[in-house]
Amino acid sequence: MLIPALLIPGLLIPALLGGCGSSEALGVSALSVVSAGVVNDPANKSLRFDLLEFGLERFCVEMQRRGAPLKLSDTEPVLGRFFADSCQARVIDEEQRQSVVVSYSGSGYGWTNLTGRLGFSSSGTVEYAADFQQRDGAMYIYFRPRSVAGIAFRTLMIESALAHIGIGVTGVDANAVGQDIVRRQIERGFTVIRHSARGDAEFSTGLVPLGQRPFRPFQVRSSDKLTIDNDRTELHSGQQDLIGGLYVPESDQKLSLHLSLDGVAAVDVLVLPEARALALLRSYVNQPGPARLLAAPVIDAELRAGQPLRLEFKAQPGNYYLMFDHSALVGRSTPPAGDQAAKIDYLVQLGE
């Protein structure tokens, strides 16, 4: 069916916390958790409020700093990103109503085989009900949608000329259908998993079954480094992908990238400071074709199939973006004839 395929980027809401594991402290009172009964006791107001507040703070930080991956399912590669430029959140901490309310706006891109790339904007308000469960020392904090208000979706750019023709012939309102898809996808909710007394936490889209872990291409069993992102993306010929949230809080810290490629011979890997990345993103969301670099990147490397790549470098404090390029416009590699998809696994870590 043509219409849903045209509007796959409407999957943005459940992916708003689709980042991977990170290390965040939940506060002194949160560290006192010893059993599921303590977590679920309505009288334990201080603990429950700490957990809700943690989810609230991380939600907006992740949305605005990282860029949310868009997926068809948890195990599928990333097909696009949503970047929030505004996010306000608050906690409702009542005995019968433990919720996080989030209002957001932003823009992004996605790819389908019928349309090529789509650029879009979206805004809305969602209230998530919180639920707390514990298994084998790990705390699962579930955020289930309670109400949805004012979800808006607007197509900014459709790359394929054939898709333009199809929409014109059918008379379909792409924005209305996209808004409906967004609303239905919100029902997936999201999960925060706190793994240890140290406060290590992992975000995942959807409701992860108790005792299970979300899919990650790289298995990090023990590391002194902070894992910033750990995921898989898919790039078609002529496409680019920007991954935000490579945040360096202080000097004398190194960013480490572990990368592997399948499907094509090579793609380009770049690291950009935030200001340059956002300028490129604005062009990419609103105009067909790959976006051109406006200045030299911090890192410029080529990733080849069957040759896993590890990059480690010191960066000045600030926010950075990881960019993958599968076009002939940027970098050294050139896509083969036809549309061969590049599948890239990436792990980003921060440490001294």
Per residue in 122-142, pLDDT tens? 898 989 887 778 888 788 888
Per residue in 1-39, pLDDT tens? 332 332 323 333 333 333 444 444 333 333 333 344 444
Q: CA-CA distance, 159 to 282, in Å (whole number)?
A: 15
Spatial strand order in the sheet of 254-262:
226-235, 342-351, 254-262, 309-314
- Please tell me whether residues 8 and 56 are part of one structural domain: yes
Residue 190 lies in a domain: yes
List for the chain the helix, strand, coil content (%; round to 5): 20, 45, 35
> How confident is the model at residue 22, as a pLDDT?
43
**Six token digits for residue 304:** 């080849």
Spatial strand order in the sheet of 318-326:
239-248, 318-326, 266-273, 299-304
3-state secondary structure of 47: helix
Query: pTM of the full predicted structure?
Result: 0.81
Largest CA-CA distance found in the chain, in angstroms, rounded = 64
Tell me phi and psi for residue 191, to 5 degrees. -130, 140
Residue 231 pairs in a beta bridge with 346
Q: CA-CA distance, 279 to 292, in Å (whole number)?
A: 10
- Please tell me whether residues 185 and 137 are part of one structural domain: yes
- Please tell me whether residues 58 and 110 are part of one structural domain: yes
| Count of domains observed in the chain | 2
Residue 215 lies in a domain: no
> How confident is the model at residue 299, as a pLDDT?
94
Identify the domain boundary among 205, 235, 268.
205
- Please tell me whether residues 170 and 251 are part of one structural domain: no
Residue 214 lies in a domain: no
DSSP state for residue 95 in the 8-state scheme = T
Q: CA-CA distance, 259 to 62, in Å (whole number)?
A: 22
Per residue in 229-270, pLDDT tens? 999 999 999 999 999 989 999 888 999 999 999 999 999 999
Which among 182, 107, 120 has a CA at the least distance from the CA of 151?
182
> How confident is the model at residue 197, as a pLDDT?
54
> How confident is the model at residue 2, as a pLDDT?
30
- Please tell me whether residues 146 and 30 are part of one structural domain: yes
E-state strands within the chain: 22-23, 68-70, 80-94, 97-112, 116-135, 138-158, 190-194, 200-205, 226-235, 239-248, 254-262, 266-273, 299-304, 309-314, 318-326, 342-351
Q: CA-CA distance, 210 to 135, in Å (whole number)?
A: 7
- Please tell me whether residues 131 and 237 are part of one structural domain: no
Q: What is the CA radius of gyration of the chain?
A: 20
Decide if 126 contacts 13 (C-beta within 8 A).
yes
Identify the domain boundary among 151, 176, 205.
205
- Please tell me whether residues 125 and 34 are part of one structural domain: yes
Residue 347 lies in a domain: yes
Question: How buried is 172 (Cβ within 10 angstroms: 0-12 exposed, 13-18 middle, 19+ buried)?
Answer: middle
Question: Which structural domain, as residue segments, surrounds residue 196?
Answer: 2-205
Question: How buried is 267 (Cβ within 10 angstroms: 0-12 exposed, 13-18 middle, 19+ buried)?
Answer: buried
> How confident is the model at residue 91, as a pLDDT?
82
Decide if 72 contacts 181 (C-beta within 8 A).
no
- Please tell me whether residues 178 and 144 are part of one structural domain: yes
Q: CA-CA distance, 234 to 236, in Å (whole number)?
A: 7
Decide if 220 contacts 347 (C-beta within 8 A).
yes
- Please tell me whether residues 47 and 145 are part of one structural domain: yes
> How confident is the model at residue 239, as a pLDDT?
95
Instruction: Report the run of H or E that residue 170 belongs to, with start and end.
Output: helix 161-170
Which residues in the chain land under pLDDT 70? 1-49, 51-59, 72-74, 113-114, 163, 166-167, 169-174, 176-185, 196-200
Q: CA-CA distance, 242 to 346, in Å (whole number)?
A: 12
- Please tell me whether residues 201 and 288 are part of one structural domain: no
- Please tell me whether residues 20 and 110 are part of one structural domain: yes
Residue 216 lies in a domain: no
Decide if 122 contacts 182 (C-beta within 8 A).
yes
Please say whether the dihedral angle defined by the alpha carbons of residues 9, 13, 15 and 16, taken in this order, is positive or negative: positive
**Six token digits for residue 161:** 């000329």
Say how far residue 283 (Cα) sits from the centre of its chain: 20
> How confident is the model at residue 283, as a pLDDT?
96
- Please tell me whether residues 198 and 54 are part of one structural domain: yes
Decide if 348 contacts 248 (C-beta within 8 A).
no
